[in-house]
């Protein structure tokens, strides 16, 4: 009698869809095995496949998925995936796979894409940003045998499943996207009820390039999927496919995927001459900075790290009057737990300003100040995060580029960074 297929249900602090994933596995006749991030990673070798569940791992500190992507358990999952075992990331799990470089499968797991802030677009205008919860239509754009999670559907088949996320927009360089499409790695796309991939809301719920809902790696045994197949029986095909893939002895494909690595550029920061800069510190403990610092220490970088919010505010008119109105609104900082400060520069500290290439949050705040608070004369508002780093041993200058290469502070596909000092 053949032993039951065992699938590790990988959970990090903040994961929250493990119950639904257990139920989905049980429905298709595979055995879910709870596996916590701090369990012995070597035990993963006893399992046949893996699912990284959704939720908010490490509270999405720094950005969704990055802290978990650098967790030691991911190194062992990488080892296991090289044995052709299937690995599925759902929602936050997809973000973790993208940040770890396991999807799309470039050489040495270099990061080739980003999952960033939702952007709901209709008639060419941004009508909404941030978290969105709905049911969506997705169609399978690959052939049935393309990957471990497509085997029980036919190409162009449409499924309706739930979606719930705030950072689900795939961002991919056009040259790499072309190769991904050619390789049949653009597995699932958002569409209407007839299967048309209309690139606007509500059919594309988050502004993803090419209406992407899920992307697999080049070998076909790993997939990053933003919608939630585990929350409905409509999604059982994903888990049935995973089961079939294992029963057929993990038949991977050998598609080649190459792309030049995105170069980390550390530009010198210069604010607009007429702008005002606000640097905001927290009164309470900054858990986000602590998590990033602890992750860097785990990676072997003995650093001290602090975080500040940065606003660059450009006005036209009576600057002092406009700035007083902005401060009184409470939109840019909460005076109960934050205060205006300065960037503390010294020769032992490097300060890095990180901004999203598409500053969705800054745009949202600008719209709020203009329309909700009726503040005129606000021309431009840019939001960023300042990371201040110093080394407990030696000179921070000698390791700063190594730290930037970990991508823990920013993803070069969706962010840009500047050196302030």
Question: Kind of pairing, strands 212-216 and 188-191?
Answer: antiparallel
Residues that are catalytic: 91, 228, 230
The beta strand positions in 192-324, using DSSP E, are 212-216, 222-225, 266-268, 275-282, 303-315
Please answer whether residues 58 and 290 qualify as being in contact, where contact means their C-beta atoms are separated by less than 8 angstroms.
no
Distance between CA 74 and CA 93 in Å, rounded?
Answer: 11
CA dihedral of 356, 361, 362, 368, whole degrees rounded to 10? 170
The bridge status of strand 132-140 relative to strand 188-191 is antiparallel
Write out the two tokens for 181.
Answer: 């499409």
Please report the beta strands in 184-262, taking only residues with DSSP state E, as ranges in sequence order. 188-191, 212-216, 222-225
Q: What is the dihedral of CA 104, 124, 193, 151, to 10 degrees?
A: 0
Kindly report the backbone phi and psi dihedral angles of residue 369, in degrees, each rounded to the nearest multiple of 5, phi listed first: -65, -35
Residues 261-287: b if buried by 16+ CB within 10 A, e if exposed:
ebeeeeeebebeeebbebbbbbeeebe
**Is residue 95 within 8 Å of 89, Cβ to Cβ?**
yes
Burial of 417 (0-12, 13-18, 19+ CB in 10 A): buried
Q: Sort residue 84 into left (φ over 0), alpha (ψ -120 to 50) or beta.
A: left
Contacts of 50 (CB under 8 A, 6+ apart): 7, 8, 10, 35, 44, 77, 80, 81, 85, 86, 87, 88
For residues 229 and 239, is the Cβ–Cβ distance under 8 A? yes
Residues β-bridged to residue 36: 11
Contact 275, 62 (CB under 8 A): no
């Amino acid at each position: 009698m053949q032993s039951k297929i065992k699938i590790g249900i990988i959970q990090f602090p903040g994961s929250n869809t493990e119950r639904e994933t257990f139920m989905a596995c049980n429905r298709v006749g595979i055995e879910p095995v709870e596996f916590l991030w701090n369990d012995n990673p070597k035990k993963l070798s006893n399992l046949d496949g893996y699912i990284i569940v959704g939720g908010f791992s490490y509270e999405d500190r720094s950005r969704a998925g990055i802290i978990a992507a650098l967790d030691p358990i991911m190194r062992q999952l990488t080892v296991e995936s090289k044995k052709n075992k299937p690995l599925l990331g759902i929602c936050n799990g997809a973000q973790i796979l993208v940040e770890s470089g396991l999807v799309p499968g470039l050489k040495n797991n270099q990061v080739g894409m980003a999952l960033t802030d939702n952007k709901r677009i209709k008639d060419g205008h941004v009508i909404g940003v941030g978290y969105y919860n709905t049911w969506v239509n997705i169609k399978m754009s690959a052939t049935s045998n393309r990957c471990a999670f497509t085997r029980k559907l036919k190409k162009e088949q449409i499924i309706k499943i739930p979606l719930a996320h705030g950072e689900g927009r795939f961002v991919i360089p056009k040259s790499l996207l072309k190769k991904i499409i050619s390789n049949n790695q653009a597995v699932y796309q958002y569409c209407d009820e007839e299967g048309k991939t209309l690139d606007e809301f509500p059919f594309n719920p988050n502004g993803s390039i090419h209406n992407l809902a899920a992307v697999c790696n080049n070998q076909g045994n790993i997939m990053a999927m933003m919608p939630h197949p585990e929350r409905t029986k409509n999604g059982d095909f994903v888990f049935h496919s995973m089961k079939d893939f294992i029963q057929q002895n993990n038949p991977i494909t050998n598609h080649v995927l190459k792309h030049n690595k995105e170069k980390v550029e550390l530009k010198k920061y210069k604010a607009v001459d007429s702008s005002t800069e606000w640097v905001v510190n927290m009164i309470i403990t900054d858990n986000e900075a602590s998590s990033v610092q602890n992750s860097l220490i785990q990676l072997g970088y003995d650093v001290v790290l602090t975080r500040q919010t940065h606003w660059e505010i450009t006005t036209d008119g009576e600057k002092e009057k406009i700035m007083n109105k902005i401060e009184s609104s409470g939109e840019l900082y909460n005076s109960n737990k934050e205060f205006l400060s300065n960037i503390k520069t010294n020769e032992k500290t490097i300060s890095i300003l990180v901004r999203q290439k598409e500053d969705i949050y800054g745009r949202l705040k600008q719209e709020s100040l203009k329309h909700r608070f009726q503040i005129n004369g606000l021309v431009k508002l840019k939001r960023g995060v300042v990371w201040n780093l110093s080394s407990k041993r030696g000179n921070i200058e000698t390791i700063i580029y190594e730290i930037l290469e970990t991508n823990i502070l920013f993803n070069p596909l969706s962010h840009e960074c500047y050196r302030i000092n």
